[in-house]
Chain A
Amino acid sequence: MPDPRIAGAGVTQFGKHPERTGRDLFADAGLEALDQSGVEPEDVDALYYGNFMGELAEHQGHQGPLMAEAIGIDAPATRLEAACASAGAAVREAVKTLRNGESEVVVVGGAERMTNIGTAAATDALAIAADDLYEVRAGMTFPGAYALMARAYFAEYGGSHEDLGHVAVKNHEHALVNDHAQIQSEITLDEAMEAPTIAAPLGLYDSCPITDGAAAAVLTTEEYAAEHDLDAPVVISGSGQGGDNLALQDRPHLARTPAAEKAAEEAYADAGIEAGDVDVAEVHDCFTIAEVLAIESLGLFDPGEGIHAATEGVTTRHGEMPVNLSGGLKAKGHPVGATGVAQLATIAWVLDGTHPRADAVPDGRVGVAHNAGGTVASTTVHVLEVRE
């Protein structure tokens, strides 16, 4: 089965754009993706679009057709919601429809408008990805949920808040040259350690910012790309998705993310690769501990070893396994519904050599994008490969 090709991608500058509507943000990303792809808008067969909190932040549901209008395509448009993995789920649907022959050209994307409602309301909106009855009513916030996982991880495997600080320092440094990034400033380990606490043991610099932004990509079949002479050297060769109990309290293990392990296993098998083949990864580091859990679930590090990866420099741009060359959610920002497609775009640009951090993996052939929803109750993993 031929693998879908990435013909073009567009990402807005991630950051604080409280006055810009979601449709306006998505138009930026979607039109850039279409222009870069060389695909005519009338050839687009479908739009799969990720968004999480549109009803709360913009009083806007039913965003699929709205976003198709915004980029001038007349095609069936469906919004997918899987909390912070909404765009990853959208990518997965796009891959399916291209592989099964229903579509030849698909736009996949996502957007989120968050800063217009302020930090407290955004924290509240994010919290509804948790179990309302048993978690939200017990005061759980998303930083709180990941703090619970961090403390459980430390108790089981060791490691420290300082190790998490190294993750933050690394991702801020990676974002310095990424013009899409919300935060383009270095931080020191001391600054990370001394930042105000949000949910102990996690502090301000363990957390991604609240972000507005959008991302989009144009995916197409091998045949369409060949017929139209598209420059599309990167394919999506593997797709996987895993699920878990929604509430942390119902899971047997608080220091592992089995949904991501299942997604990675499925995606690797789909692509016919192993973890050892991966050259570069973009993972869902909504909190520093999340990056640790992600790289372990992807099989890039054994359980209990991911906590030391940034400290030892292995996941820096100079290391053997660069992770989050974009700056990750931590520094690039996390407009929830857009994140999964922004990760896809980053890996595609790293592999085709056009990303400003592509020099970290000059001979990179295989990349993975790991997009997690909630406390990893939903996860998608996609494998991208260079295939001229």
Chain B
Amino acid sequence: MTETSRNGEYDDWLDSIEAGEGYYVECDEGHGWLPPRRVCPDCGSRELREEPLPDSGEIATHTTITVATPQFEDDAPYVTAIADFGPVSVTGLVRGVDPEDVSMADVVGIEVGERETTGERAVVFRPR
């Protein structure tokens, strides 16, 4: 990987979130995944279609990280969470709320932000 290389469908997906047109991919049996996916790991289907990502999700679990990797050194402490968006779950940074006030089942929206340490893009959740 170089700094100028894109990560294919992953960066396309971030672009879609930035544009307010987020999506996920789904097979005929309703299993949802984030791209890139060629095959549904649940049922093996190769027929995956894009569906709109719901506007909001619920925090399924979260943590406040104080010991970070060098890529997040200036971000710490920060909250990382997995949010349930129905057919898919997404991992992201929770911003716009005091870490102490983040709770299970909080409703959040999804957007793309920047890491404070590196300026690279990251998935960000904000309370709704």
Chains A and B belong together in one complex: yes
Report A's interface with B, CB cutoff 8 A: 119-121, 123-124, 127, 133-141, 143-144, 147-149, 151-152, 155, 196-202, 245, 247-250, 254
Give the residues in chain B near A152, CB-CB below 8 Å: 60-61
Residue from B7, B33, B68, B123 whose CB has the most chain A CB atoms within 10 Å: B68
Looking at the assembled complex, report how far the CB atom of A168 sits from the nearest CB atom of chain B, in whole angstroms: 17
Residues of B62-90 whose CB lies within 8 A of A: 62-73, 75, 78, 80-82, 88-90
Instruction: Let me know if A143 and B67 touch, CB within 8 A.
Output: yes
CB-CB nearest 10 A-B residue pairs: A147-B63, A124-B69, A249-B89, A152-B61, A138-B91, A200-B64, A148-B61, A139-B80, A133-B10, A198-B67
Contact in complex: B82, A148 (CB < 8 Å): yes
Task: Return the contact of A120 from the options B62, B69, B123 (Cβ within 8 A).
Answer: B69
Known A121-B70, A133-B10; further 4 A-B contacts with Cβ < 8 A: A152-B61, A248-B91, A249-B82, A250-B89
CB pair A139 B66 closer than 8 Å? no
Assess whether B104 is in contact with A155, with CB atoms less than 8 Å apart. yes
Q: Are B65 and A137 in contact (CB under 8 A)?
A: no
Given known contacts A120-B70, A141-B67, A245-B41, is B78 in contact with A148 (CB within 8 Å)? no
Is the pair B123, A141 in contact by a Cβ cutoff of 8 Å? no
Do A140 and B80 contact each other (CB < 8 Å), given the known contacts A133-B10, A149-B61? yes
Give the distance in Å from the alpha carbon of A245 to the alpha carbon of B34 in the complex.
13
Kindly state whether residue B120 has any CB partner on chain A within 8 Å.
yes
The answer to the question of B53 belonging to the interface, with a C-beta cut-off of 8 Å to chain A, is no
15 contacts between A and B (CB under 8 A): A120-B68, A120-B69, A133-B10, A137-B121, A137-B122, A139-B93, A139-B122, A141-B68, A144-B80, A147-B63, A155-B104, A199-B63, A199-B64, A200-B99, A249-B82
A254: contacting residue among B34, B82, B99, CB under 8 A: B82
Chain A residues near B41 (CB-CB < 8 A):
245, 250
* Chain B positions within 8 Å of A136 at CB level: 69, 71
Given the contacts A140-B91, A245-B41, A254-B60, A148 and B80 also touching, CB distance less than 8 Å = yes
**B80–A134 touching, CB < 8 Å:** no
| Chain B hits for A139, CB < 8 A | 65, 68, 72, 75, 78, 80, 93, 115, 122
Give the distance in Å from the alpha carbon of A119 to the alpha carbon of B69 in the complex: 9
Interface residues on chain B, size class = 35 or more
Which residues of chain A have C-beta atoms less than 8 A from B104's C-beta? Answer: 151, 155
**Distance between A101 CB and nearest chain B CB, rounded to angstroms:** 34
Q: Which chain B positions have C-beta within 8 A of A202?
A: 63
Report the nearest B residue to A255, measured CB to CB.
Answer: B61
B61 touching A254, Cβ below 8 Å: yes
Is B22 part of the binding interface, using a Cβ–Cβ cutoff of 8 Å?
Answer: no
Secondary structure at chain A's binding surface: helix, strand, loop or mixed? helix
Chain B residue nearest to A120 (CB atoms) is B70
- Give B6 Cβ to nearest chain A Cβ, in Å: 11
Contact residues in A for B75 (Cβ distance below 8 Å): 139
Could you say which of A133, A199, A250 contacts B33, with CB atoms under 8 Å apart? A250
CB-defined contacts of B68 to chain A, threshold 8 Å: 120, 123, 139, 141
Which of chain B's residues have a CB closer than 8 A to the CB of A137? 120-123
B109: min CB distance to chain A, Å: 15
Task: For the complex, give the distance between the alpha carbons of A141 and B71 in Å.
Answer: 11
Q: Is the CB of B91 within 8 A of A124?
A: no
Docked complex Cα distance between A147 and B73 (Å): 19
Residues of the A chain whose Cβ atoms lie less than 8 Å from the Cβ of B82: 148, 248-249, 254
Judging by beta carbons under 8 Å apart, are B62 and A151 in contact?
yes
- Contacting residues, chain B, for A197 (C-beta < 8 A): 64, 66
CB distance from A382 to the nearest CB of B (A): 27
Give the contacts of B40-70 with A (CB-CB under 8 A): 41, 60-70
Knowing A120-B70, A133-B7, A245-B41, say if A143 contacts B65 (CB, 8 Å). yes
Most buried by B among A127, A135, A151, A152: A151
A245 to B33: give the CA distance in the assembly, Å: 11
Give the chain A neighbours of B64 by CB distance below 8 A.
197, 199-200
Cα distance A155–B79 in the bound complex, in angstroms: 18
Residues of B within 8 A of A155 (CB): 61, 104
Report the separation of the CA atoms of residues A124 and B70 in the bound assembly, to the nearest whole angstrom. Answer: 7
CA distance A124 to B117 in the complex (A): 14
**Chain B residue nearest in CB terms to A196:** B66
Most A-side CB within 10 Å, residue of B71, B73, B122: B71
With A155-B104, A254-B82 in contact, do A127 and B93 touch (Cβ < 8 Å)? no
B10: A residues at CB distance < 8 A: 133-134
* A199 & B60 in contact (Cβ 8 Å cutoff): no
Q: Verify A138–B61 contact, CB threshold 8 A.
A: no
> A124-B70, A245-B41, A254-B82 are known contacts. Are A141 and B62 too (CB-CB below 8 A)?
no
